[in-house]
A and B are shown apart, each in its own frame.
Chain A
Amino acid sequence: MITLDQELARRARELAAHVGRPVVQLARSHTTTSVERALLRLAGLSGADADGVPWANHLVGQVVDQVGLEHGVALPVWDALCRHEAGDLHELAAKSAIGSVRFRLPDADAVAPVRRAAREAVTRGIARIDARRRERERMVAGIGDAPRKPWIYLIVATGDIHEDIPQAQAAARAGADVIAVIRSTGQSLLDYVPEGATREGFAGTYATQENFRLMRAALDETSRELGRYVRLTNYASGLCMPEIAVLAGLERLDMMLNDSMYGILFRDINPLRTFVDQRFSRQVHARAGIIINTGEDNYLTTSDAVAEAHTVTTSQLLNEYFAKEAGLADWQLGLGHAFEIDPAIPDSFRLELAHALLARTLFPDAPLKWMPPTRHMTGDVFHGYLLDGFFNLAGVLTGQSILLVGMMTEAVVTPWLSDRDLALRNVRYVLDATGSLGEDFRPVPGGFIASRAHRVLEEAVHLLERIDGNAAGLLGAIGDGTFGQMRRPPSGGRGGDGVAPRSELHYNPAEELLEPSRPAAHGHEEER
């Protein structure tokens, strides 16, 4: 709808790749406790002890204490299994939890069979994820897909999975195409994944494998009833991002929030930990056919949406680079952006259109995620309803793909039944009244909207050049407060103690099997 300077766009992508590449190298040369736990979950280890501590945490904790993290857990764990220390992973974890297993690295001549055993176990897990992906494809084809774009995305957040389910089903019946079960606010900083069906959460419901399963089953039922496949979203972020990604793949979740820098900036998680966990979780999402949603909208909740618009574009470009490097395809890149400009600014709506069109034009094949106003929702619900209407209109006009439904009671209460109903009526009215207006919407070349879009892209390129010029690269730029005005030094943040540089012996069969660009059979040769 607008014409971008192709040379500038090419330069932006080139810079993003240049800035991102050293970070990918870091991710490839380190491992984390959470990646190792994700590996065990892929190999079939689930459940927790009587105190709720997951077996995956017990097993990784024991291996780290005895052998260290740097070699990965696959060799010590399957070495123990090959030595018949236990009959299976569960038993091994239970035994290790009471300190009755000695872990070691296998002798050089025993490495090959140990590797093979680990690889076989993980292959079975990946086959389960593949089966779930095929199941989704069959269901979408058989039941039917969402009738139109944008997909209508609604959040459910009661804290109790058994309350969430009827609310999610009601939202789907009322027109939602995507249901997101928002997580309990504390979860991103938990260094374990809770177990079982949960009924206690703060401003959200814990992400657990059982909660995933229950909600997906309920929405499958509703999908059949409605004749359209209703998608389910959760959050692969925080300290357990790789494990949550695996659980999402195993339980056929359809979309996952998964931003390359969100945890660093907004949760103060160690930068290296985040980038290592990110890469693995994106590899899993790529394989599982999951659409990721990135979190650029968050920058605008702390920074000015006009002055800092280019940080959104910059982050989208970085997210695109990291996502593709990990094997995700364009159709899986739900890059985020938001309607957060102060409505008191003259021409605020035109600026919103310019920013939204920039994203649409720069990433033509990505299912862009369009986020509603939050920052300028003041508690004046009447004004908020109007603002949400304009947000919906901007979404339609600029061809956004996933529209998160704004609530007029944002900043007042967690949405009530009636809030959701009113919000959906707002969306439906705008879609029905203006659905194809995009066809008639042709901003004048060189006019206000086109020039603004160009300028934001230019500023993004300048910012990428500055990051590229930082002696410490992207990590240095994050430390300097480049994004969301948050300063996060590379050595700071939570979870840094769960990161280790890989040793020569490090082996992670999951990564080898998920590596997109190389034939898996030769993967371990190149791992070194």
Chain B
Amino acid sequence: MIRFLIFSLYSSFLLVSCAVYRYPEAVGMRESEMKELNTYYIDTTKAFVYRAKVNAFKQDVNGTLLVKALAADEHRIALVSDFGQTLFDLTISPDKDVVHFIMPDLDKKFIRKEIAGIFRTMTQRTFASSALMFSGKQHYPVYVSNDSYYLLKQREVDRITKTKGTKERFTVIYNDVNSGIPLGVTVEHQQLPITIHLFLDRNQSTL
């Protein structure tokens, strides 16, 4: 009996630890040539100014999101309230983030981690050598890099699905891409009540 229980627990542990996210309608994965993805924010001469509408935990925050590439893989991201108060100001790299300022109300480890995670996914260039296979009908190509799925439309990244374990964590959707510049971005969080809508302010951006 005890041997059976140990075997059951071991089997369950293996099943859980090996479980991966299943992308809708995907039937498998194939190797592909190395593909460079999400290059919207790699130009260090540009500064993006977005009108931001954030709904987080039933609180509305409106303001301005500033995005500046310090290097191809390093971004300075700041959210400023309409009244001019900096809510957060971070430098985000692939493996670390530096907080320059964060409002005391937001200065909690899990909030900092979530903010950095969302905007890292939104701004970070990546390289993928795996793509999903779909059976039957035509499907937009989807490349896989670590735990993120990049769906391409007209050769541009249309959306990124960030996953953790078997579940979607959040989705970044580039609503309108014009000459390689996302005019709108939506972030929908599947695990937390967070939605972000960004609208590019062309006049204030340096493009």
A and B together in one complex:
no
A interface residue numbers (CB < 8 A to B): none
